Chain A
């Protein structure tokens, strides 16, 4: 059977599973809609969190990015896993004990202030919308390459599926589809990785194969360092970023991960505080399977790519080469007219441009794996993108229906009405996301940095202070969040958009002016520190510690026993 037929079978099969689960798990109350009734088992929540977290970026782009960045790619590996340690130790257990529905719920109640809640809602919406548009794009890319439909149709098909189970099932539907999606995506990621590892090094475990030897006895990584320097690239195991920037980006991604509302809210769904800790561990374990394999895949595919194309005649390229040329993600331009591909670092001589996003998707083809494996990767990419999109849409809809409408605009809403608003809000969110998926803003990369930066510079300090500093006042917390966010936005506008220096063309020239040599991607760590300093400073100056009953509330959050089901008070 051809790749095409296999892809239809795999995608059709997985999609029917998702829809089946959605019908089975229809949400009947707001409690079920927002937090799946608060009765999800730690394993199910761990799997759902892992699928929620691992997006199209983790599945499709990350290994590709690393294979071009080498050591510098470590920022993603450490940054997107280390955040779970912070989450498990500093946030998840306490937020579960607090036991409401959303992150703005916590900020609003802990800081006894509607203003704080609204600031939190604005941040939530900003972070989640920027994030979700990237996911829809991922869906479009997979559809257009593997099902030969155009990207717009791909996005619309994806949207209908998500709409179906997110609107009907709410958090409950999303959780159980995400469990299925985790299984699909991890299987789809591991199978080709194991195949290729065995092919190249004779070791079936990619994590070990990465340190293995080639047929001629040289270590894989040494061989790759050699190849890279020969072609003029930097040595693979040594980076080209400055140490302080690697440090700052890793920290910003870690803290940003711990502050992302769609990740935090997953820990509201388990039964007890104990389960929140356990499911954070399980989630990271399941994530680590992919994250420790990705750098191996990066090495394998880099070597395979170089060996396949470098100094080889264009006419003898295998069929995957022209397939990807058709999508425009792979380009060959024969500058010296010799019919041979020169793939080198020097832009004047280099004739091949490879989009980093295609490495994972093209990897099985480059390694000549069977058709069903290639189809599996397509289904996995879709699972990764859809699961994350659904989680984000839920956060958006609950921020609107619960935090904005129920808590601010119309406090007397009945539960039934609120449920309708929640569904309406998710339909609206899906439509906006679809629009961005079809007409992606040209600055997707810039906004993703912004999403992590915003989460790092707003939520993380506010929640940590809220739990660990019980006298912390609303004045301090609100000023910290506002200054943190504004500083982050300013930095992105200045150094990612060239807003103050004459537009995007100026951006490249501004890199020498970065504060402390830190790139906009890493600036979230600085903005986070500033948030902490401003919050504590203002708190000391204003001298109005949190009222007694709030301090009592913090005391109870710190003790794990006596968890109630999340209530709509």
Chain B
């Protein structure tokens, strides 16, 4: 039973990782580098879009990704009872 729980938990974790790392790849390597020229045809405010992703957007996305991961994992830990109490030490 406990072993099965471990496996379920780990699979869910890997699923989150796959999704979040795909986004990580798309916003930086995708929008900022590979598709840069295509996106540069759009200008929003004073920014060409591809350039904006390379120098601004990707960084904002990175920050959000880590916090989303934190939220998802905290919820998952809670569901499986894998939390450490506040006064663990």
Contacts and interface: CB of A to CB of B under 8 A. Distances in A.
Interface of A: 38-39, 66, 71, 73-74, 77-78, 81-82, 84-86, 88-90, 93, 207-208, 210-213, 219-222, 237-238, 243, 246-247, 250-251, 271-274, 277-278, 280-281, 284-285, 288, 291-292, 295, 555, 558-563, 565
A277 B84 CA distance: 14
A74 to B, nearest CB: 4
Nearest to B24: A85
The 8 closest A-B pairs by CB, nearest first: A219-B46, A211-B46, A74-B54, A281-B66, A211-B45, A561-B82, A295-B55, A237-B51
B59 A77 contact: yes
Contacts of A250: 28-29, 32-33
A273 B80 CA distance: 15
Q: Which of A213, A237, A243, A246 has the most CB of B within 10 A?
A: A237
5 contacts: A84-B66, A277-B66, A277-B69, A288-B60, A292-B59
Nearest to A565: B89
Interface string B48-89: 100110111011101101110110011001000111100011
B62 A89 contact: no
The bracket for how many chain B residues form the interface is 35 or more
Given A221-B46, A277-B73, A281-B63, 11 more contacts: A71-B55, A78-B32, A81-B59, A210-B56, A211-B52, A222-B46, A243-B36, A271-B84, A274-B74, A288-B60, A558-B6
A66 B54 CA distance: 12
Given A221-B47, A243-B34, A292 B20 contact: no
A215 B37 CA distance: 29
B62 A562 contact: no
B17 A89 contact: yes
Q: Which of A71, A246, A288 has the most CB of B within 10 A?
A: A71
A210 B48 CA distance: 12
A89 B89 contact: no
A77 B55 contact: yes
Contacts of B44: 211
B10 interface: yes
B34 A82 contact: no
Contacts of B45: 208, 211-212, 219
Contacts of A562: 84
A277 to B, nearest CB: 5
A74 B32 contact: yes
A274 B10 CA distance: 16
B53 to A, nearest CB: 9
